[in-house]
Chain A
Amino acid sequence: QSVLTQPPSVSGAPGQRVTISCTGSSSNIGAGYDVHWYQQLPGTAPKLLIYVNTNRPSGVPDRFSGSASGASASLAITGLQAEDEADYYCQSYDSSLSGSIFGGGTKLTVL
Chain B
Amino acid sequence: EVQLVQSGAEVKKPGESLKISCKGSGYSFTSYWLGWVRQMPGKGLEWMGIIYPGDSDIRYSPSFQGQVTISADKSISTAYLQWSSLKASDTAMYYCARSLGGVIAQFDYWGQGTLVTVSS
Known A45-B113, A46-B110; judge A98-B45 contact (CB<8 A): no
Residues of B within 8 Å of A89, CB to CB, are 44-45
Chain A CB within 10 Å, residue with most, of B103, B106, B110, B111: B106
Closest chain-A Cβ to B18's Cβ sits at a distance in Å of 20
Closest chain-A Cβ to B6's Cβ sits at a distance in Å of 9
CA distance A87 to B113 in the complex (A): 16
Residues of B within 8 Å of A38, CB to CB, are 45, 107
Contact between B108 and A51, CB atoms less than 8 A apart: yes
Contact between A105 and B45, CB atoms less than 8 A apart: yes
In the complex, B76 has a CB within 8 A of chain A:
no
Known A34-B104, A57-B108, A100-B103; judge A45-B95 contact (CB<8 A): yes
CA distance A90 to B113 in the complex (A): 19
CA distance A38 to B111 in the complex (A): 14
SS class of chain A's interface: helix, strand, loop or mixed? Answer: strand
In the complex, B62 has a CB within 8 A of chain A:
yes
Residues of B within 8 Å of A97, CB to CB, are 61-62
Which of B45, B105, B108 meets A102, CB within 8 Å?
Answer: B45
CA distance A89 to B97 in the complex (A): 15
Contact between A99 and B111, CB atoms less than 8 A apart: no
Residues of B within 8 Å of A91, CB to CB, are 45, 47, 106-107
Number of interface residues of A (CB under 8 A): 26
In the complex, A17 has a CB within 8 A of chain B:
no
Contact between B46 and A102, CB atoms less than 8 A apart: yes
Residues of A within 8 Å of B35, CB to CB, are 100
Closest chain-B Cβ to A3's Cβ sits at a distance in Å of 11
Contact between B108 and A100, CB atoms less than 8 A apart: no
Nearest neighbor of A6 in chain B, beta-carbon distance: B44
Chain B CB within 10 Å, residue with most, of A45, A52, A57, A93: A45
In the complex, A63 has a CB within 8 A of chain B:
no
CA distance A97 to B111 in the complex (A): 25
Contacts of A92-111 to chain B: CB distance below 8 A = 93, 97-105
